[in-house]
Amino acid sequence: MTIDVSSRDTVDNKSLTASHQIKIGPQVPEPQRRTLYWSSYVADWSTFGNGGRYDHLVPPGEPSMPEGCIVEGVRGLLMDKIDGQIQPARGYETPQVSVNQGSVGFTVSRPEGLAPNSLTSQVHDWHNGFNIVRVKVVYDVLQPSGVDCEDTGGVLTTSP
Amino acid sequence: MPASGMKGDDEVDEIVTFGQSSAATGTYAGLLALASQYAKKEGWTREQLMAALKLASSRDNITDDSEKRVQAIVGVGILDAYRATGGARKVVIEAPNQAEPGETVTLRAETDAVVPPGAAPPDHFIYRWKVNGVRKGRG
């Protein structure tokens, strides 16, 4: 709908005009940005005191989020066993695409050609002969209104 | 600014020119007299007249020799006598950008005519509205 107004100054008969557009239609709520975490993690370790590097496609089974959800990016969390619990390693609590701690490290990426709601991610990780590397994939998700992108049968959680 | 002036001690020259603060003083005296007349017609107080003069002034077009804008030492800037005496340079529409079908929306049009604090808006503007090119009202 186009709104026009003209304003006439009756003192000197000068006219001014302005125009405004109003879009008529149902209000569409803005999509919401969420950070979701893979409920599991990748773990690799030395068997014979040797270092190693590995490539994994995770999560297994090529799971997806509900239709309409969009993976905008993938990152990773370096995990560690602290007080008997697997949790983000101290000093590495912020998800990152790549971490190199020296003795262990990883890079998380998203293969090309996937559906927008696919959770498949590539994790490249490495370790030296003495350490275990554990990596949890973190998803930056655009969630449309009325959809819960966490609804993946337990593949995703809202905290690491 | 052209003006008559003395040539020597006893001869009046036809035209001389002068500028800067000497010209500005006379120019602004005239502008203030003009604005005062309008203020009297509108029933404004002295304070409202002073406020209106400031509201009608702008520093936007003041530059130094290097063409950079000067914001300090120029007071409130150059007075727009047209706006100081009730004129307007633009009109704007205040309205939402989106509405649901059947929803009532409020449209508001406002000029940039100067209205000092406590004064009523000028009543010499007539507004005409059109919706999708069809005349819908005036006021």
Q: Which two tokens stand for residue A111?
A: 């293969």
Residue B64, min C-alpha distance to chain A (Å): 32
- Is A12 in contact with B131 (Cβ distance < 8 A)? no
Question: Would you kindly state where each structural domain of chain A is located, as residue ranges?
Answer: 32-157
Closest CA to A14 of B90, B52, B58: B90
- Is A7 in contact with B130 (Cβ distance < 8 A)? no
Query: How far out from the chain centre does Cα A106 lie?
Result: 17
Q: How confident is the model at residue A11 (pLDDT cuts 50, 70, 90)?
A: very high
Say if residue B67's pLDDT is above 90: no
Which tens digits make up the pLDDT trace of B114-132? 999 999 999 999 999 999 9
Number of domains in chain B: 1
Which one of A10, A20, A27, A30 would you mutate to disrupt binding with B, by most B Cβ within 10 Å of its Cβ? A20
pLDDT of residue A72: 97
Let me know if A60 is exposed, middle or buried by CB neighbors in 10 A (0-12, 13-18, 19+). exposed
| Phi, psi for residue A106 in degrees, rounded to 5 | -160, 165
Dihedral of CA atoms B63, B68, B74, B77 in degrees, nearest 10, equals 60
Higher pLDDT, residue B8 or A132: A132
The model's pTM: 0.53
- Is A7 in contact with B126 (Cβ distance < 8 A)? yes
- Is B88 in contact with A9 (Cβ distance < 8 A)? yes
Q: What is the extent of the structural domain holding B87?
A: 2-138
Query: How far out from the chain centre does Cα B106 lie?
Result: 28
